[in-house]
Amino acid sequence: MSRHRLLAHRCLTDVVAYRRSAPVTVGHFLADVDRIAAGFPAGKNVLNACTDRYRFAVGLAAALVAGKVSLLPANLAPETVRQLTQFCPDLFCLTDCDHSGLDLPLIPYRDAVATGEPATGIAVPEIDADRPVAWLFTSGSTGEPVPHLKTWGTLVRSVEIEADRLGLRGGTGSVIVATVPPQHAYGLESSVLLAWQGGVAFSAARPFYPVDICAALAEVPRPRILVTTPFHLRLLLDSGAKVPVIDLVVSATAPLSAALVNEVEARFGAPLLEIYGSTDTGQIASRRPSVTAEWHLFTGVELSPEEDRTWASGGHVGAPVVLNDVVEVTGDERFLLLGRSSDLVNIAGKRSSLAFLTHQLTTIPGVLDGAYFMPDEKARTRVTRLAAVVVAPELTSAELSRALRRRIDPAFLPRPLVFVDALPRNDTGKMPREALWHLIETRGKAIREQR
């Protein structure tokens, strides 16, 4: 049976993380892992709710060492926790926050009293490749969150290829600062696991706002890698903040516009690479969008078009998995991304996509944020109507509608068009479908009642 090391770092004195500006060595990290693992109860399944990325990483490694499976849901809402306890009745929660309201056995994360000298005589654990190690859950942006069980070998193979694509293998002294929570599939793979298997370090911070991103970057040495999303990049650019030097930008979770790509590379003076994947498949492709529109598949992964859908298989993906996106295979290991399958809309015989319509909406001067939305079948009237929410404090509904008419076919004008102060985005910039629909339903109803 094949096995993979927990860390690719070569020495116990190598730096694996930064907590604020203080480096944490491999030896200290492994000592913390053993300490936390020793405090776990008998249950096999652990909900890792730590918000500090270092504590999360220690908890994840401790679960690996202790032979437990980590559950990483998108949120800790009461209904989510209720479903998780039904899913895994022996579930307990490792947390570094006050989660006393959770109906679960709680294991508080306690930092070591003193770090002392780097630990010696500790071996880097090796984990069986076939070991189930984590349940990852989809974000809910296209419906109910769905669990996916990942093995250690699957995760390692994915991030090893990513490390090669980013030029990190062999240890480069780089430090990863990520705006994405580690409980998210992309945040898990491209911050914690990428550092582990790339032999580099990660920042314990989980910044969201521009000022916090700048502070987290300033706390760590170069070379700096910013792992983020289009949403956070837009916030950072619009803030006008003085951003510390970044050596590489990595983005995922949503398509990047050409304008945003060019602005990021011009402002930061660093290459921007995109990662493509999903919770179902893991990360399966990368590209530098300023150079090419084509995606380059990860080694061993294959795409198989079939009528109106495409399957991914091979490599770390394993058995065929249907993609949620419409793609065009352009050659060996290459493809173009055309949009999400669930994104396509057909109204009165006219076709478009929610991504295209959202792009047209959000590029109108005065629009700060916005999104188109297609109701479920059960919520539709006899005539299909698209809805949209928008953050545009300086525009009226009439002004915005006129601007949209100049850009799109009238069949795709949203009804209702709901103005809000902020969109219900989660930590990765996505909008859970249920939250978006609830917002449109409640605000749309108020608009109808005012007429």
Examine the pLDDT at 210 and tell me if it is beyond 90.
yes
Q: Are residues 114 and 48 in the same domain?
A: yes
Whether 220 and 352 map to the same domain: the answer is no
Q: Is the pLDDT of residue 294 over 70?
A: yes
Q: Are residues 98 and 209 in the same domain?
A: yes
**By mean pLDDT, which of 29-43, 366-380, 408-422 is the weakest?**
366-380
- Pick the more confident residue, 443 or 417: 417
More confident residue, 411 or 59: 59
- 287 plus 352 within the same structural domain: no
| Residues 211, 74 within the same domain | yes
pLDDT (0 to 100) of residue 409? 80
Q: What is the pLDDT of residue 277?
A: 92
Number of domains the chain contains: 2
DSSP H/E element including 136: strand 132-137
HSE-CB of 330 using CA atoms within 13 angstroms: 13
CB 342 within 8 A of CB 324: yes
pLDDT digits (tens, 9 = 90+) for 67-100: 999 999 888 888 888 889 999 999 999 999 987 7
Cα(448)–Cα(418) distance, rounded to whole angstroms? 11
One domain for residues 86 and 165? yes
pLDDT grade for 120, boundaries at 50, 70 and 90 = low
Domain harbouring 395, CATH code: 3.30.300.30
Is 281 within a domain? Answer: yes
Return the CATH number at 64: 3.40.50.12780
The burial of 18, by beta-carbon neighbours within 10 Å (0-12 exposed, 13-18 middle, 19 or more buried), is given as buried
Model confidence band, residue 31 (pLDDT cutoffs 50, 70, 90): very high
- Residue 340: what pLDDT? 67
87/168 same-domain check: yes
pLDDT at position 372: 87
326 domain residue, yes or no: no
Average pLDDT over residues 432-439: 75
Taking Cα atoms as reference points, which of 444, 393, 443, 394 lies closest to residue 415? 444
pLDDT at 448: 40
Q: Looking at residues 35-56, what average pLDDT do you find?
A: 96
Q: Is the pLDDT of residue 381 over 50?
A: no
Do 147 and 45 belong to one domain?
yes
Q: Are strands 344-347 and 350-353 parallel, antiparallel or unpaired?
A: antiparallel
Last residue of a domain, one of 272, 291, 310: 291
Give the amino acid at 371.
A
Whether the predicted pLDDT of 441 surpasses 80: no
**Which of the two residues, 339 and 371, has the higher pLDDT score?**
371
CA atoms of 200 and 197, how far apart (whole Å):
8
* Whether the predicted pLDDT of 450 surpasses 60: no
Identify which has the larger pLDDT, 446 or 297. 297
Grouping H, G, I as helix, E, B as strand and the rest as coil, residue 310 is strand
In this structure, the strands spanning 132-137 and 175-178 are unpaired
Q: Using omega within 30 degrees of 0 as the cis cutoff, is the peptide bond preceding 244 cis?
A: no
Q: Does residue 26 lie within any of the structural domains?
A: yes
List pLDDT tens digits, range 259-274. 899 999 999 999 999 9
- What is the reported pTM? 0.81
Residues 28 and 95 in one domain: yes
Q: Exposure of 99 by Cβ count < 10 A (0-12 exposed, 13-18 middle, 19+ buried)?
A: middle
Lowest mean pLDDT among 41-45, 193-197, 292-296, 435-439: 435-439
Residue 301 in any domain: the answer is no
The pLDDT-based confidence of 382 (bands split at 50, 70, 90) is very low
Based on the domain organization, do 253 and 389 belong to the same domain? no
> Of 291, 325, 360, which closes a domain?
291
Decide: helix, strand or coil at residue 121: coil
Same domain, 286 and 354: no
Structural domain containing residue 81? 3-291
Angle between helices 53-65 and 26-38 (to 10 degrees): 60
Q: For residue 298, is it within any domain?
A: no
**In this model, does residue 139 exceed pLDDT 70?**
no
Averaged pLDDT for residues 16-33: 95
Distance CA 103, CA 81 (A): 8
Share of the chain above pLDDT 90, in %: 59
**CA–CA distance, 333 with 335 (Å, rounded to integer):** 7
User: Is 428 within a domain?
Assistant: yes
pLDDT at 189 over 90: yes
DSSP secondary structure letters along 47-112: EE---SHHHHHHHHHHHHHTT-EEEE-S---HHHHHHHHHH-TT-EEEESS--TTSSS-EEE----
Q: Specify the amino acid at residue 80.
A: T
**More confidently predicted of 68 and 433:** 68
249, 276, 291 — which closes off a domain? 291
Does 212 map to a domain? yes
> Is residue 79 located within the same domain as residue 152?
yes
Q: 302 lies in a domain?
A: no
- Provide the pLDDT for residue 292: 95
